[in-house]
Chain A
Amino acid sequence: MALKFLVVDDSVTMRRIVANSLKTIGHDLYVEAGDGREALAKLTADDSINFVITDWNMPEVSGLELVKAIRSNEKFGTIPILMVTTRGLKEDIIEALAAKVNNYVVKPFTPQILKEKIEQIISGSTE
């Protein structure tokens, strides 16, 4: 099944970089959201989204709040989530993992790292 990504970041630049990286590693299907609130609206409206890549620091609803909201949602609670963020401290990573992100990427990242993490999540969820 083709992956359709929801790329969530308040920085337009970062959304483009993530989108370009996805294209580089062979994923052309994606939609974008500027914060957690918009992301939740898109997830509710679009059933075909089956992968979330989210930043942490965002206005309105942060990435971490988004992860918690997704995980507590009956409709899309099991969707794979990859956190891509500048937060590289141990306590941050532990907090994100406790909120049930599937994997974690620290910026700056390369398309190869993104590919590796996506593949790890997909293989893990299909095992």
Chain B
Amino acid sequence: MDNSNSFENIFKKLGDLKDFFVYGQKLIPILHKILDFMHDTVPLLENVNRSIQDSTSKIPKAAMQINSITNANEIATTEILDIVDGMSMDIANMQTKLESLKNKLGEDEELNAVISTIEKINAGMLNITISLQVQDITSQQLSSVNHLIQSIQEKLAALLIEFKDKEISELPAAEYHFPKDSTFNADARYDKSNSSQKLADSLVEETLNKATQSEIDKLFKKL
């Protein structure tokens, strides 16, 4: 009786084993497909990894180039300001001399035309100075771009650490120090439309009016 039970058990186990092999045979093509997929995907992932590593190592160079653009712009702007200042002084001297000449010669149409032209040139010089504010605005925009680049570098570095356990400090050109957040305004715009100034004026006026009202309230309290 015991023997017949044991054989039944063995046949049952063999049946299970057969089922397992049958199931296994069905699984084999799927496993092949998975292996093929992995075979295709691993080089792709390695490519992605290499690409991320490559991009990450290039980022500090890009940031340094942006920084050198900012510095070059500042130097060029200073040079333009030096020239404009020099020319403005020359114009001021010329204006003084022309005025003295006018006093000596009296009213002269040609002299008046020259004085008027020089006044126009002087106004133009002032406009150049005003336009040079673009340097400060663009340098803030570039700092903002550098900040964005820093964020991308950090994200890519985190990905690299996950891929290869490779830290960003090991990468070749990661020596650039990014500027602090507080030194730039990401929303800086070279906008001569005056819309922001009008908004500021209305808010200043509103604040001053509020202050006046609070002063009135204080006065009433005293009474």
| B-chain residues with CB within 8 Å of residue A12 when the two chains form the complex | 74, 78
Q: How far is the CA of A94 from the CA of B9 in the complex (A)?
A: 85
* A106 x B197 contact (CB < 8 A): yes
Q: How far is the CA of A56 from the CA of B126 in the complex (A)?
A: 24
Q: Does B180 contact A (CB under 8 A)?
A: yes
Contact of A16 with B81 at beta-carbon distance under 8 Å, contacts A56-B185, A108-B192 already known: yes
Q: Does A57 contact B (CB under 8 A)?
A: yes
Contact of A113 with B137 at beta-carbon distance under 8 Å, contacts A20-B129, A57-B185 already known: no
Q: State the majority secondary structure of interface residues on B.
A: helix
* A18-56 residues at the B interface, CB under 8 angstroms: 20-21, 24, 56
| B-chain residues with CB within 8 Å of residue A85 when the two chains form the complex | 185
Q: Does A110 contact B (CB under 8 A)?
A: yes
B126 (CB) vs chain A CBs: closest residue: A24
Q: State the majority secondary structure of interface residues on A.
A: mixed
| B-chain residues with CB within 8 Å of residue A105 when the two chains form the complex | 197, 200
Number of A residues with CB within 8 Å of any CB on chain B: 36
Q: Does A69 contact B (CB under 8 A)?
A: no
Pick the residue among A11, A56, A104, A109 that contacts B203 (CB under 8 A): A104
* B77 x A13 contact (CB < 8 A): yes
Candidate in A24, A86, A110 with the most chain B CB atoms within 10 angstroms: A86
B191 CB, nearest partner CB in chain A, Å: 8
* A87 x B182 contact (CB < 8 A): no
Contact of A17 with B134 at beta-carbon distance under 8 Å, contacts A57-B185, A108-B190 already known: no
Digit string of A89-125 for contact with B (CB within 8 Å is 1, else 0)?
Answer: 1100110010000011111111101000000000010
Digit string of B170-214 for contact with A (CB within 8 Å is 1, else 0)?
Answer: 000000000110111101111110011101100110011000000
* A86 x B200 contact (CB < 8 A): no
Q: Does B130 contact A (CB under 8 A)?
A: yes
* B130 x A13 contact (CB < 8 A): no
Pick the residue among A20, A58, A113 that contacts B183 (CB under 8 A): A58
B135 CB, nearest partner CB in chain A, Å: 5
A59 CB, nearest partner CB in chain B, Å: 5
A124 CB, nearest partner CB in chain B, Å: 7
